[in-house]
Amino acid sequence: MKTNKGVIFILIAGVLWGTIGIFVRNLNALGLEAMQLVFIRALITAVVLLVGVLIYDRKLLKIKLRDLWCFIGTAILSILFFYYFYFVTIEKASLAVAAVLLYTAPIFVMLMSLVLFKEKLTGKKIGACILAFVGCALVAGILDGGGNALSPAALLTGLLSGFGYALYSIFSRFALNKGYSSVTITVYTFVIALLCLLPFADYATIGAAIAAKPGTAVLASLGLSIFVTVIPYLLYTAGLETVNSSKASIMASVEPVMACVVSVAVFRESMSFFGGLGMVLVIAAIVVLNLQPHRGKGDIN
């Protein structure tokens, strides 16, 4: 059975996103905190994408003013919204709980896609969504002890982070349906996000971190921006051209699996039986989604 290249793009994007811990930990060690990393990520990503488009094809920057809301949606309502509430949740609850709540995103995408894009709600999608969510919960270590009580505030911000994460697929779908390329969507997403962050950036702290260890700071910042942002966002958005939003969001759940692999292989952190089981469930969810019979050229389920 022929494999949709969009599926491959989305899986690669998820794997790359899962390596973010390597770069974040190096930058954290230099004294940089979450929102400073968001700014660095947006700055380098926006510059790299803009320069690339100006060299490659300036026509990709052409958009209609009436369609600007799509890109404001991917930038402010998704990227910045989800990062902010995710970091707040990490402060209010454990990282494991924050990760599980973030990966409620496929559920939000599935529900919104039913209404907005008339996507079909199939038994396989529901089953895969459940498998992916349970798998993410196990990978995050939710059953490995800890069991801290979750406050209503942490629950709310965690669900909002998942909702914001889901909105990228939704607003990107609107933009794709209007004929914009994945490159155009990604460029405007990060340029708008950067413009919103400029007044709030802590330039002094960022400058001090770079001055302390310039080599580490530059390499980690480039990795965070290019390897974990530019490449996977381009791939994921391109994948949405041939894979519907709800399916793509579930497949991207490979991200916490890769993060778990990185923690074990790179940082020598132990992985429990439940963590391994969670990885199997997420992979099973992806397999279930892609066992659907091929229906013809126009089918992107």
CB neighbours of residue 21 within 10 Å: 18
Q: What is the pLDDT of residue 14?
A: 87
pLDDT block averages, 10 residues each, the chain of length 301: 75 87 85 85 92 91 94 92 79 65 78 81 80 74 56 81 88 91 91 93 92 93 92 88 79 75 71 73 72 45 38
Three-class SS of residue 149? coil
Query: Would you say residue 298 lies in a domain?
Result: no
Q: What is the pLDDT of residue 50?
A: 93
Query: Would you say residue 281 lies in a domain?
Result: yes
Query: Would you say residue 60 lies in a domain?
Result: yes
Query: Would you say residue 295 lies in a domain?
Result: no
Query: Would you say residue 300 lies in a domain?
Result: no
Domain that holds residue 215: 5-289
Query: Would you say residue 260 lies in a domain?
Result: yes
Q: What is the pLDDT of residue 158?
A: 82
Q: What is the pLDDT of residue 89?
A: 78
Query: Would you say residue 285 lies in a domain?
Result: yes
Q: What is the pLDDT of residue 156?
A: 84
Query: Would you say residue 191 lies in a domain?
Result: yes
Looking at the structure of the chain, the number of domains it has is: 1
Query: Rounded CA gap, 53 and 49, in Å?
Result: 6
